[in-house]
């Protein structure tokens, strides 16, 4: 239970799984090396739901960047936002590089992240929390 919540930012994103599949399979500009670090790919691994899980992580990265108020570019990369989920646990946000610098400047001390899938869509909502959260 959260008490004394200090919400610094909120971001939400919706991804069409079929569209993400097309981006991943496009040989001209492969999405995976630009957006995911190896540890994320290892955690997602292979399987029938791999693209769905990548779509959820992509939506989560977008939601985090929106909560930070940055988007990507100007010193912030998709790989600066890492999304992990241990079995049976809630997804976690880990920041590095430019995203970590922005979060520190804003006073972000924690995150709440939710990822959902339905009807060929992946959705994520991210709350950037500050002191007192």
* Domain boundaries defined on the chain: 7-129
Mean pLDDT of 55-60: 96
| pLDDT at 28 (0 to 100) | 80
pLDDT in the model for residue 71: 73
Cα(81)–Cα(76) distance, rounded to whole angstroms? Answer: 9
Give the torsion through C-alpha atoms of 32, 33, 35, 36, to 10 deg.
80
| Per-position DSSP letters for 75-131, written without gaps between them | TB-GGGEEEE--TTS--EEEE-HHHHHHHHHHT--EEEEEEEEETTEEEEEEEEE-T
pLDDT of 2 above 60 = no
Mean pLDDT of 26-34: 80
Question: CB-based contacts of 16: which residues, under 8 Å, 6+ apart?
Answer: 55, 120, 121
pLDDT score of 122 more than 90 = yes
Instruction: Decide which of 3.40.718.10, 3.40.50.1820, 2.70.70.10, 3.90.470.20 is the CATH code for 7-129.
Output: 3.90.470.20
Token pair of 110, please?
């924690």
CB 87: neighbour CB atoms within 10 A?
A: 5
């Amino acid at each position: 239970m959260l008490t004394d919540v200090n919400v610094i930012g909120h971001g939400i994103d919706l991804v069409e799984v079929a569209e993400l599949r097309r981006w991943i399979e496009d040989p001209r500009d492969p999405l995976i090396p630009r957006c995911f670090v190896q540890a994320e790919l290892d955690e997602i691994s292979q399987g029938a739901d791999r693209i769905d899980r990548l779509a959820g992580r992509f939506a989560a990265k977008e939601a985090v960047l929106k909560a930070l108020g940055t988007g990507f570019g100007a010193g912030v990369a998709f790989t600066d936002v890492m999304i992990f989920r241990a079995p049976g646990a809630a997804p976690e946000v880990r920041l590095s590089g430019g995203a970590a610098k922005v979060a520190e400047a804003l006073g972000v001390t924690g995150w709440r992240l939710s990822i959902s899938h339905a009807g060929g869509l992946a959705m994520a909502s991210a709350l950037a929390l500050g002191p007192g959260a």
